Amino acid sequence: MLWSGRINWARPITLAALALAAGIATSCSKPSGAPSSASAAPASALVNVPLIGCANDGQTGPQSPPSAPTKTVQLSPDLTPKLAYYIAASGPGVLAPRGWYCAGMYSSNGGSLVVSPQPVAPTDLLNKTWGGAAGDAIEIRTATGDTSGRFEVAQVIMRVFPGHQAFAQSVISEGVEPANAFPSGTYPGDRLTNINNQVVEFQTPANSVGLGTDTNANSQMKPGTDPVLGVAMLTGATPDLLVLAVRLPNELQALAPAIVQEIQQDNSAGAEMAQPQAVNTQVASPPAAGQPSTNVMPDGNPQALAVVQDFYSALGSADGVRASGDVVPEKRSGNYAAAALSRFYRSMSQPMQLTSATVAGDTVAVRYDYVYANGRACDGAANVFVTTRNGQALISSIQALNGC
């Protein structure tokens, strides 16, 4: 079992300690006098590892795997021959053992990428039929805080991010999901190491439901005979959520700390943006049908209205480049990447159309409609929050009010 006999689950263990434990275990089989990693962690450097494109499927259909020969990462050169970088067409990538299989799924709410020693396909994830859920695997999942992914973000905040309770409480107060869907406090078996206000490393013990194995919180991984090491991160001002869960066989356990550290290095800039935000409860209500298409309240910011109108106009034209340019730079990835926006809104049988917008302060209440390719209609409403960067009005977050 992973780390069996080496971890005292009675107290948190840092990644450095796990790396040290792995080094001690390895040194036991070495001849006398052989160097041991227990005395010093191996130095990391920028190295190239193979990039493996993963099949991806979801809201707008299958996506072709990305194609590139290598990925540059910060990694100990000693581990480079054992790892590759796996990534789907949308969403984050992750280091994992070479020669494994991978698949992803995505939606407007976020997505999940699974890397496994056994074959896995996107349909396994979409249909919850993945046979390796309790076995060795690596999963990285994301949830977008200004879509219906906010429910998952709020669930994890209630568990491990007390400094961001205001966001979670604002989601709970919507009443869309019952309050008991957001239990507070650490999972009973989990052990946490708080890196900072928006990054928490965790260990979920074997055969336990925790942050790395809770399928009710959208984890693809289930409890198994080995523990799970991972990290949860809040990124961006909204905030968004990223959770990495790593469960490796005994002979590969020394790779786990490097995998977790790399994901933190890759996403540290976004995590720094996730400072607790005061929740504005005085947001404008969406105007009723029949009101003028635009309405500027006495304290309304005309620049906020203009950028929101441009954003929805760009979505209606499936112009992802223009729409992505209307949001703050740290959000121009994932679901707000230009290519992702173009791909999603190009698939509509009836394009996005903004029907009304009311601005109060820097908040714009909008109504819009569109029809999916499958014929399902959306009559949507949202509060769009706007900030100013270097004199330019940009969208900082969007609070969807009715799930579409």
Q: Is 251:258 a contact under the CB 8 Å cutoff? A: no
166 contact partners, CB below 8 Å, separation of at least 6: 276, 277, 278, 279
**How does pLDDT run across 67-78, given as a tens digit for each residue?**
878 888 888 899
Closest CA to 159 of 272, 261, 241, 259: 241
- pLDDT at residue 151, rounded to an integer: 93
361 contact partners, CB below 8 Å, separation of at least 6: 297, 299, 300, 301, 304
User: For the packed helices 302-316 and 338-346, what is the interaxial angle rounded to 10 degrees?
Assistant: 60
How, if at all, do strands 55-58 and 101-107 pair? Answer: parallel
Distance of CA 140 to the CA centre of its chain: 7
Closest CA to 220 of 127, 316, 319: 127
- pLDDT at residue 281, rounded to an integer: 35
Q: In the chain, which stretches have pLDDT less than 70?
A: 1-43, 268-293, 402-404
- pLDDT at residue 15, rounded to an integer: 45
Report pTM.
0.64
Please count the other Cβ atoms lying within 10 Å of the Cβ belonging to residue 184: 11
Closest CA to 72 of 41, 99, 95: 95
- The secondary structure of 9-23 as a DSSP string is TTS---HHHHHHHHH
- pLDDT at residue 317, rounded to an integer: 93
**How does pLDDT run across 319-369, given as a tens digit for each residue?**
999 999 999 887 887 778 888 888 888 888 899 999 989 898 899 999 998
Where along the chain do its domains lie?
A: 15-272, 294-400
- The secondary structure of 339-404 as a DSSP string is HHHHHHHHT-SEEEEEEEEEEETTEEEEEEEEE-TTS-EEEEEEEEEEEEETTEEEEEEEEESS--
| Lookup: tokens for 162 | 């007390």
294-400 has CATH 3.30.2320.80 classification: no
| Rounded-to-integer distance, Cα 395 and Cα 312, Å | 11
Strands (E) in 100-149, as ranges, are 101-107, 110-116, 137-143
Cβ-in-10-Å burial (0-12, 13-18, 19+) of 378 comes to middle
Residue with tokens 């959770």: 243
Q: What are residue 268's phi and psi, to 5 degrees?
A: -65, -35
3-state secondary structure (DSSP) of residue 52? strand
* Residues 111-135 as b or e (16 or more Cβ within 10 Å = b): bbbbbbbeebbbebbbeeebebbbb
Give the single-character DSSP code of 157. Answer: H
| Rounded-to-integer distance, Cα 87 and Cα 103, Å | 9
Task: Work out the widest C-alpha separation in the chain, in whole angstroms.
Answer: 83
366 contact partners, CB below 8 Å, separation of at least 6: 286, 308, 312, 354, 356, 357, 358, 381, 382, 383, 384
| Rounded-to-integer distance, Cα 63 and Cα 370, Å | 22
Give the single-character DSSP code of 327. Answer: B
Please count the other Cβ atoms lying within 10 Å of the Cβ belonging to residue 390: 5
- pLDDT at residue 378, rounded to an integer: 82
Give the single-character DSSP code of 209. Answer: -
Sign for the pseudo-dihedral over CA of 271, 277, 281, 283 = negative
Cβ-in-10-Å burial (0-12, 13-18, 19+) of 46 comes to exposed
Please report which helix (H) or strand (E) contains residue 55, including its range: strand 55-58
